[in-house]
Amino acid sequence: MKKHNFSAGPCILPKSVMLKASEAVLNYDEGLSLIEISHRSKPFVDIMERARSLALELLGLEGKGYKALFLQGGASTQFLMVALNLLEKRAGYLNTGTWSTKAIKEAKIYDDIYEVASSESGGFNYIPKGYEISEEYDYFHCTSNNTIYGTQMKSFPSTNIPMVCDMSSDIFSRTLDFTQFDLIYAGAQKNMGPAGTTLVVVKEDILGKVSRKIPSMMDYKIHINKSSMFNTPPVFPVYVSMLTLQWLKDLGGIKAIEKENEKKASLIYSEIDLNPLFKGYAVKEDRSNMNATFTLENENLKETFDAMWKEAGINGLNGHRSVGGYRASMYNALSLDSVKALVEVMSELERKA
């Protein structure tokens, strides 16, 4: 029985994507597996170009001066790479959780970083508001969605300086004006594909303005000039990401999946709010549509609840160790039926209690 996969990542992927990817591992190009063909061969070059093109198309950034790259090292490498390529004197960072904290730590290696606002005092259960962004910063960095705490930025500040956003856990999940961002990065394993590749979408005209020498592997311009093929790319993760992006396009794009994501979020949060046995972790106005975090009001029910959701075929519901409780990650490929299954278990616990 296929389980209801609420894992925070690596994430659930569409069944059709999994089937096609598994077939490609056995035979993709005239008796050769996808993972044994040359990355310089035309079949894989076509895959890479298609993946990059689909990313820009879905984000509405085609023909607007942006380039899409599929790189390695995860979002954690981007914490460093962003600073290497953009930080000359000082940058502003919004601290909304673990990942932005780590991004700040890496950037500080190279120059002065100013924390424009932080929600740490509230256990990162909200998104700061009303902060100011100096136009003297080289760039402003934020994290759109926080998997651990279940918060999500519902709007983004207006600024005349480059805006960088870590969208690892909600990329392609909701409609936004993506032209407001000058650089977006996202690890594939949350909403695109398996771990091993990272999507970077960057506006070319923000590059080449720092005085430092940048190592070749960390230089966005080199990766752009080499069409994201400067070194051997992660062939399988790029292919699966391409399939997932095509699946999303065939569904009707981001606008279509956003409607489904809103239904899923509305259903789970309604149960959390109406069921007296549960309490949401994030403040209501900043709740994430990707990651619903909640706790039991009575910890004596934990053993019973855990047994019930596991019996129902639910997987990956435990909260992050730093927060505890539970976390239902509802990425694009998770069905509404899976959320209904979880809500039914929560309702059944109330009836039994």
Number of C-beta neighbours around residue 109 at 10 A: 12
How far apart CA 178 and CA 86 sit, in angstroms, is: 19
Q: Measuring CA to CA, how many Å separate 313 from each of 3, 302, 331? A: 5, 17, 18
From 67, 138, 166, 170, the catalytic residue:
166
From 67, 99, 182, 247, the catalytic residue:
99
Please state the φ and ψ torsions of residue 344, each to the nearest 5 degrees.
-65, -40
Please state the φ and ψ torsions of residue 167, each to the nearest 5 degrees.
-110, 30
How far apart CA 88 and CA 200 sit, in angstroms, is: 20
35 neighbors 235 (Cβ within 8 angstroms)? yes
The answer for residues whose C-beta is within 8 angstroms of residue 22's C-beta and 6 or more apart is none
218 neighbors 212 (Cβ within 8 angstroms)? no
Structure tokens at 198: 């990272």
* Strand partners of residue 29: 32
Look up 99 and say whether it is catalytic: yes
Residue type, 199: L
Number of C-beta neighbours around residue 3 at 10 A: 15
How far apart CA 285 and CA 153 sit, in angstroms, is: 9
From 170, 190, 247, 286, the catalytic residue:
190
Look up 247 and say whether it is catalytic: no
DSSP letter string, 100-160? HHHHHHHHTTTSEEEEEEE-GGGTT-S---S----TTSS-EEEESEETTTTEE-SS----S
Nearest partner of 291 among 6, 4, 2, judged by Cα: 6
Q: What is the DSSP letter of 318?
A: B
How far apart CA 201 and CA 83 sit, in angstroms, is: 15
Positions marked catalytic: 99, 166, 190
